[in-house]
Structure 1
Amino acid sequence: MRVSCIYLYGCSGINADDLASYLSRTFGISCTKLYLDYNQYEMGACAIGNIYRPHQLHSNMNPIIRDGHHLYDGYCMLDILGAGVRHRNGALHIIFTDLLVCTYDNSDNRYHARSVILANPSMISIPGIIEAPAKSREYYVDLMTGHDLTQYDGQFLTYDDKTRLDQVIRGYCMQCIFYYTSGEAFCMDKDCILYNAHWQRDLLHSQIESGRLCNHHQTILQKIRNGTA
């Protein structure tokens, strides 16, 4: 589907002006920041109380906390947030959230943290970018055994790593846009910024060290810019 404009919501904590400018330059379309109003009480009802049961089947009286964050059902959130956007033909809405977003996977019957949920509106979770891609196995062993973790400094994204986080956010926005326009959100090439990274090391490689599109998706980008995608 052809995209004519992009709207960004919930941009506190990120460099929204630079992001909007980057997306506009890259895709040759307008990109605007907007405020999104929603019901906080309804959003609280999206909290997950049992990671092994789908949201509609469990009570959230005692919501789960992971790494200091409550877990939220992403599709429940999108139902609420999507009601607040003005849908029109060709408009892609990307919502940023400071909540840790999860989706239920029927293949193993449990929730998993997500960095991004692709739809319209799409949703990008800042805590999800930090928490969803796994760190190295050695890190988790050292964490459980109380070893010094400073040896891993710089190997993984952190909340105060603004420069790299801003660059990674660009990549996730591009996944949202490619999904909307071509149906292709992810790439199998680890050197492409559309690579669906499940490990922090792969995320940093595709988004920072490589930081480019593969030839296939570069061709699609040119079609988007030309209005032929």
Structure 2
Amino acid sequence: MVDRVSLYAAPTTVAEVEPIAEWLDSRIDADVAVRDRFLDVHRTEDLPERFAEARVADPHDPATGNTMLGIVRYEERALEDPEREGGVLYDGTQVQSALNAAVPAAESGLEHAHVALLDRAIGTWGDHDGRWHKRVAVLGQPAIVSVPGLYEAPAKPEAYYKEKQRHALLSGDSPPREVLENQVEGDFLIEDDPRTTEALCGYVLAAFHLLDTGEAFCDAEGCRLFDAHYQADLVDAQLREPEFCDAHAERYGR
């Protein structure tokens, strides 16, 4: 049973870790503590190379990794100055393994859950369709919750991509938020969305839930523990009432 949760901030994002910790603390029987960025608190010398090894080079190739000196140097700079990181997809399971190795032995037991909010895009390989899929979260120890994954992993309405392409053809850049929100019907989150913090709560709870119960995501659409593959479903699950399905409301409802 989990009796401690350490929740790590992602300071380069709009995600606010304290409200997430308060939300979690009010629903579980475990001590919840906020820590600074995981990659600062648990830094090991080989992390730059481990991140280089986890890089996805081709969306249709399961092989990962580029440990050329320039890439490793890039990862070193990204660790020191995370504002410089971006546009790279990493194998979430390899990143998780690297972070697991960085957790001190005294804190590595499953009774102490570590949940790292990361400012990096993570993915998992799909054997069923032969391509990489971006993910919001990779659960386990530690659990990784990708803030950019919240915007990028679940599919947006088709009209979103058409509007983005049309705007790019006309102006050469991405359309501003107000254009997307006005021109595209449907609910979805985009980069730096003010609803980010609230939307991440369910994924952080899912990280605790797996270690505490052995159960992964919930199959019930609309439950905070549902792993949505579409933005509309994510909005329903994380931002609308009721918070939980009947089974998880009994466990986590206030």
Which TM-score band (shorter chain)? Answer: 0.7 to 0.9
Q: For residues 146 and 124 of structure 2, what CA distance do their matches in structure 1 show?
A: 12
Structure 2 CA distance for partners of 1:93 and 1:211, relative to 1, 3 Å: farther
Contact 2:110–2:211 (Cα < 8 Å) also in 1: no
Superposition pairs for residues 41-52 of structure 1, below 5 Å? 41-52=49-60
Give the structure 2 partner of residue 69 of structure 1: 87
Give unmatched runs, 5+ long, in structure 1. Answer: none
**CA deviation after TM superposition for structure 1 residue 118, in Å:** 1.1
Aligned length: 216
**Structure with the higher fraction of residues in helix conformation:** 2
Shift of the alpha carbon at 1:120? Answer: 1.4
Residues 169-190 of structure 1 deviation map (CA, whole Å, 9 limit, x = unaligned): 1111111112222232322322
Contact 1:51 1:110 (C-alpha < 8 Å) held by counterparts: yes
Residues 1-229 of structure 1 correspond to what in structure 2 (within 5 A)?
A: 2-12=1-11, 13=13, 14-34=15-35, 35-38=41-44, 39-56=47-64, 59=66, 69-85=87-103, 86-146=107-167, 149=180, 150-152=182-184, 155-162=187-194, 164-210=195-241, 212-221=243-252
CA contact (8 A) 2:19 2:197 kept: no
Q: CA deviation at 1:89?
A: 4.3
Supply the AA of the counterpart residue of 2:60. Y
Structure 2 stretches lacking a partner, 5+ long: 36-40, 72-85, 171-178
Flag the 1:184–1:137 CA change in 2: closer, same or farther, 3 A: same
Aligned counterparts of 1:202 and 1:36: Cα–Cα separation in 2: 34
Q: Do 2:121 and 2:146's aligned partners in 1 also have CA atoms closer than 8 Å? A: yes
Please report the TM-score for the alignment, with normalisation by the length of structure 2. Answer: 0.76
- Whether the 8 Å contact between 2:135 and 2:146 is mirrored in structure 1 is yes
Deviations 1:132-184 (A, max 9, x none): 0110012223333448634238832123223x111111111111112222232
Q: Which amino acid aligns with 1:45?
A: E
Q: How many percent identity over aligned positions?
A: 28
Secondary structure of the structure 2 residue equivalent to 1:27 = coil
Say whether the 8 Å CA contact 1:47–1:70 is kept in structure 2.
yes
Instruction: String of CA shifts for 1:79-115, please: whole Å, max 9, x gaps.
Output: 1111111302411111111111011111112111000
CA distance in 2, matches of 1:211, 1:176: 20
On the 8 A contact 1:47/1:60 being kept in 2, the answer is no
User: Aligned equivalents of 1:99 and 1:55: distance in 2?
Assistant: 19
Give the counterpart letter for 2:190 in structure 1. T
* Cα shift readout 1:55-100 (whole Å, capped 9, x = no counterpart): 35x657699xxxx621111111111111111302411111111111
- Contact 1:48 1:60 (C-alpha < 8 Å) held by counterparts: no
TM-score (norm 1): 0.83
Rounded to whole Å, the distance in 2 between the matches of 1:199 and 1:136 is 8
Q: What is the SS of the residue equivalent to 1:184?
A: coil
C-alpha separation between the residues in 1 aligned to 2:244 and 2:216?
12
